[in-house]
Amino acid sequence: MIEYDLHNCITYRDEQYYYIFNPYTIGSIRIPNVGSVTESIKNFGVPTLYENGILIDGNLNGNSIAKFLLNKAKYDKKRLYLTDAITYKCNLNCVYCMQQNTFKGINRITPVEKVAIWERLFKMSNCELLNVCLFGGEPFYDYNYLFTLLNQAKSKNLNIQYSAVTNGTLINDDTISLINNYSINHIQITIDGPAYVHDKRRIGNKAKNTFEQIINNILKLLENTECEIVLNTVLDRNNKDTYIELVKFLNSKFSKFCFSSQARIIFNLGMECHPYNKSDYTNESIIKDLIEYHKIYLKYLQELLSLGNTIRFVMPNGLCIAKHRYEYLIAPDGCIYKCITGLGLKEFRLGYLNDIYKDALPLLLKESQFIEKEYAQCNNCKYQALCNGGCYYSAFINQASIDCRKQLFDAVLEEYVKLSCSVVKTKNGYYKGV
């Protein structure tokens, strides 16, 4: 329940604390409850709350602040982020795969052509650093291609930091060398539940018992590389009740790597999306009520923190690839996209390989339509910084004009705020419970 509306802040209360949240700056804090909110703020120290952007001058326009801060982040050119789908091929055929209905018959470009795109986009951006996330399909599916690609990029002396999103089944001595030689320092692997759950969802024609393979491979990565590993779980109706069983198993198996202040195992929760044209599996298993979905998600984040684990995200953030000026997806055929789940769909395509070599202005103008998309209803919305017009892909797949999250935030913001007040940021930018 909203207890008090103060200096553009939303305040909640329980017996011990006041939780103060500024939706425009996304600043939050919990302070000891010593009586009224005013007394409690005074007791805690008003200047600290102003300095951290939690309290803001009551005369300032919160929406202008939210827009300013969003723009600052949108146009921050420190890093260019490229997510590169090395191939659409994969050794698995997961039940909810986003790519199950698309991508037939494309021609993959060569590693030399691919690196030329990285180089061109990097030069065009004037960014200082290049982050490349190796994506797929399965990025380790075609070792020779990946090896040549990374070698080619090395020869260009681009200032690159690598990460990878993999199904975790193809880790062997060769991939371990690749990870070490090219400093792939961050790897995301999906595990969807204990073996009896996971092995029904993340399956392949030849790949059986993928859970066991992945667990063995995580151990190889922990022992033979220095990379951090994000263990991602896509929650839906069919696996939500076994999630904590999975976490407890992973905590006992990898205890040495789960609990220090710089844990190498970080937990992430994802929510299922429908692939293009939807699928029988996602139609049946997605938790359709978004409020219920977020409550489940929040409950498990809270449990992870209680178990002493490190988590990746806490508060929703109104920025994503589609809205960030220096972030792109590159398909195996060299096409450039502006949404991770919209990969391969013309609605999210900015252009073809050649469009960045001639005058790139038409491509940039198209990009502006994603970054600066405006909805009249968002202009005075207090959730703008958290939501920023919602997810374009969700609106597209649900054939809606907008993916508005107002009702959702009205229902679950209190839990998000309390969660964000009960964590500290780690050195690596993740979150642990206080």
The footprint of ligand SF4 (CB under 6 A) covers 320-322, 339-342, 375, 377-378, 381, 383-384, 387-393, 402, 404-406
Shortest Cβ distance from residue 412 to ligand SF4 (Å)? 12
- 250 or 339, CB closer to ligand SF4? 339
- 66 or 92, CB closer to ligand SF4? 66
- 257 or 337, CB closer to ligand SF4? 337
Shortest Cβ distance from residue 127 to ligand SF4 (Å)? 19
The residue type of 166 is T
- In the Cβ-directed half-sphere of 16, how many Cα atoms lie within 13 Å? 4
Helix/strand/coil for 91: coil
- 344 or 389, CB closer to ligand SF4? 389
- 52 or 377, CB closer to ligand SF4? 377
Give which of 312, 349, 313 is closest to 330, Cα–Cα.
Answer: 349
DSSP 187-210: EEEE--SSHHHHHHHS--SS---H
Q: Which residue has the tokens 């090219």?
A: 182
Give which of 103, 132, 327, 397 is closest to 337, Cα–Cα.
Answer: 327
DSSP 92-140: ---TT-TTTT---SPPPPPHHHHHHHHHHHHHHHT-SEEEEEEESS-TT
Shortest Cβ distance from residue 37 to ligand SF4 (Å)? 26
Are residues 192 and 143 in contact, defined by beta-carbon separation less than 8 angstroms?
no
Determine the straight-line distance between the first and last CA of the chain, rounded to whole angstroms: 24
| Token couple for 124 | 């065009």
**Dihedral over Cα of 92, 93, 96, 99: its sign:** positive
Shortest Cβ distance from residue 320 to ligand SF4 (Å)? 3
Shortest Cβ distance from residue 388 to ligand SF4 (Å)? 6
Shortest Cβ distance from residue 225 to ligand SF4 (Å)? 28
Shortest Cβ distance from residue 332 to ligand SF4 (Å)? 19
- 170 or 339, CB closer to ligand SF4? 339
Shortest Cβ distance from residue 194 to ligand SF4 (Å)? 28
Q: At what angle do helices 290-306 and 243-253 cross, to 10 degrees?
A: 30
- 246 or 298, CB closer to ligand SF4? 298
- 117 or 381, CB closer to ligand SF4? 381
- 79 or 406, CB closer to ligand SF4? 406
The residue type of 291 is I
Helix/strand/coil for 225: coil
Q: Which residue has the tokens 């995301």?
A: 188
Strand partners, 246: none
The residue type of 232 is N
Shortest Cβ distance from residue 183 to ligand SF4 (Å)? 26
DSSP 142-179: SHHHHHHHHHHHHHTT--EEEEEEE-SS---HHHHHHH
